[in-house]
């Protein structure tokens, strides 16, 4: 039987790298323990974007979810990538590796 991979399915990053990215986000964005940070790799469908992007969700209680989208696999993300995104728009940025373009991304919470 031939198994086909779903290019749009989320990918699982290495647990150690995921913990490191979360620690960098917490440090750079000065987040307390009540804030949830999630890391997800997804297929990127934007033109000129690599096949995989990493989406970092910052979920503060009773607030809208903030996201950082970095156009590279989680394994390739550095502290500098997150620092540049955080500095650019206070943690709400898209970082595109080739062009380094930055734009605001906001996702509404389920209750509002």
Report which secondary-structure segment, H or E, holds 93: none
Cα distances (Å, whole numbers) of residue 13 to 40, 89, 90, 102: 8, 25, 24, 24
Containing domain of residue 99, as a range? 15-107
pLDDT tens for the 112 residues of the chain, in order: 565 666 666 555 578 999 999 999 999 999 999 999 999 988 877 787 788 888 899 999 998 888 898 888 999 999 999 988 855 444 445 444 433 333 334 333 333 4
- Token representation of residue 59: 């979920």
CA-nearest of 106, 92, 46 to 72 is: 46
Looking at the structure of the chain, the number of domains it has is 1
Classify residue 1: in a domain, yes or no: no
Q: Is the CB of residue 70 less than 8 Å from the CB of residue 85? A: yes
pLDDT at 1: 59
Residue 100's pLDDT is 35
- Joined together, the tokens standing for residue 34 give 């009540």
Structural domain contains residue 4 = no
The answer to whether residue 35 is domain-embedded is: yes
Looking at residue 9, its pLDDT comes to 60
**pTM: predicted TM-score of the whole model, two decimal places:** 0.67
Residue 10 lies in a domain: no
């Amino acid at each position: 039987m031939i198994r086909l991979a779903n290019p749009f399915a989320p990918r699982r990053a290495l647990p150690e790298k995921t913990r490191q990215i979360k620690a960098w986000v917490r440090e750079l964005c000065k987040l307390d323990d009540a804030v949830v940070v999630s890391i997800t790799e997804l297929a990127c469908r934007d033109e000129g974007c690599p096949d995989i992007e990493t989406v970092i969700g910052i979920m503060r209680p009773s607030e809208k979810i903030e996201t950082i989208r970095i156009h590279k696999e989680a394994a390739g993300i550095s502290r500098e990538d997150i620092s540049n995104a955080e500095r650019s728009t206070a943690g709400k940025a898209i970082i595109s590796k080739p062009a380094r373009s930055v734009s605001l991304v906001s996702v509404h919470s389920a209750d509002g």
